[in-house]
Amino acid sequence: MADSKREAALKALFTALSAIAGPEVRRNEPEAGGIPPGGLVNLSDGDLQAEPVLSPLSYDITHRASVLVLVQVADATARDSQFDAILVALAGAVDADPGLGGVVDFTACAVPEILDEPVEGSATIKAAIVPVVMEYNAPTALG
């Protein structure tokens, strides 16, 4: 069975994110087991909004996937640098091919939510939730 347009878009985005050098890239996986030394990028499926288009019936989809970026490094300067490098690479991966190989009409990163989380007895975690907005047309409201 062929993938839905939604799943094809998520797979294409995951492929683009997998090209980022350094962090471990996952999809829909918990952060159990700690943060790898190079950082962690975890793609979550996110939310869809569908607008019907008539004759023939189809749906313009705005799909907001969520990318969690985590780094954990003891030195604050090194942590900030590694974190920034991952965010720059993430934006670069999306900007390099906003159509994700023709799977979607457009993709762009939205403003991230960034936070520092002190961990007692361990290095601080720096995290961001980066919404990645994909736009495409699908035959159903489910994408």
Residue 74 forms part of a structural domain = yes
Tell whether the model's pLDDT for residue 31 goes beyond 80: no
Tell whether the model's pLDDT for residue 112 goes beyond 80: yes
pLDDT band of 143, cuts 50, 70, 90: confident
Token duo for residue 71: 């780094």
Tell whether the model's pLDDT for residue 32 goes beyond 90: no
Considering Cα of 24, then 68, then 70, then 20, what sign does the dihedral take? Answer: positive
Residue-level pLDDT at 10? 98
pLDDT tens digits, one per residue of 50-100: 999 998 999 999 999 999 999 999 999 999 999 999 999 999 999 999 999
Token duo for residue 44: 């979550």
Contact 46, 63 (CB under 8 A): yes
Residue 143 forms part of a structural domain = no
Mean predicted lDDT score pLDDT of the chain: 95
Structural domain range at position 112: 5-138
Contact 106, 120 (CB under 8 A): no
Q: How many domains does the chain have?
A: 1
pLDDT band of 40, cuts 50, 70, 90: very high
Residue-level pLDDT at 2? 81
Tell whether the model's pLDDT for residue 33 goes beyond 80: no
Residue type, 117: E
Q: Please provide the DSSP assignment of 47-110 as one string.
A: EEEEEEETTTTEEEEEEEEEEEEEEE-SSHHHHHHHHHHHHHHHHHHHHH-TTGGGTSSEEEE-
Question: Domain with 92 in it: what CATH number?
Answer: 3.30.2000.10
Residue-level pLDDT at 119? 87
Residue 50 forms part of a structural domain = yes
